[in-house]
Copies of this chain bind each other. A is one copy, B any other.
Amino acid sequence: MSGNTFGTIFRITTWGESHGSAVGVVVDGCPAGLALVAEDVQKELDRRRPGQSIASTQRKEEDKVEILSGIFEGKTTGTPISMIVWNKDADSSAYEALRNRPRPGHADYAYQMKYGLRDHRGGGRASARETVGRVAAGAIAKKLLKEAGIEVVAYVTELGGIKADIASSNLGELRAEAESNPVRCPDPTAAERMLERLDAVRHEGDSLGGIVAIVAKGVPVGLGEPVFDKLDADLAKALMSVGAVKAVEIGAGLESARMRGSEMNDPLVIQEKIIDFSSNNAGGILGGVSTGATIVCKIAVKPTPSIAKRQSTVDLVLREQTEIEIKGRHDPAIPPRIVPVAEAMVALVLADHLLRQRAARL
Contacts and interface: CB of A to CB of B under 8 A. Distances in A.
Contacts of A313: 267-268
Contacts of A312: 267-269, 278
A113 B80 contact: no
Nearest to A131: B227
A258 B240 CA distance: 18
A265 B105 contact: yes
Contacts of A195: none
Nearest to A354: B359
B114 A289 contact: yes
B256 A250 contact: no
A275 B227 CA distance: 39
A359 B361 contact: no
Contacts of A114: 32, 78, 221-224, 289, 357, 360
A21 B26 CA distance: 14
Contacts of A42: none
A233 to B, nearest CB: 4
SS of A interface (majority): mixed
A106 interface: yes
A314 B275 contact: yes
Contacts of A358: 358-359
A319 B270 contact: yes
A227 B306 CA distance: 19
A238 to B, nearest CB: 8
Interface string A170-208: 000000000000000000000000000000010000111
Contacts of A239: 236
Contact of A311 (B118, B222, B267, B270): B267
Contact of A258 (B66, B209, B361): B209
Nearest to A330: B261
A137 B26 CA distance: 15
Interface in A310-362: 311-314, 316, 319-321, 355-362
B4 A1 contact: no
A226 interface: yes
Pick the 3 closest A-B CB pairs, nearest first. Answer: A107-B287, A3-B229, A3-B225
27 contacts: A2-B11, A2-B78, A8-B8, A13-B28, A15-B82, A17-B69, A17-B79, A24-B68, A33-B116, A68-B84, A69-B125, A78-B360, A78-B361, A79-B125, A102-B268, A104-B266, A105-B286, A109-B275, A110-B291, A115-B361, A206-B260, A206-B261, A206-B262, A209-B259, A210-B257, A233-B237, A240-B250
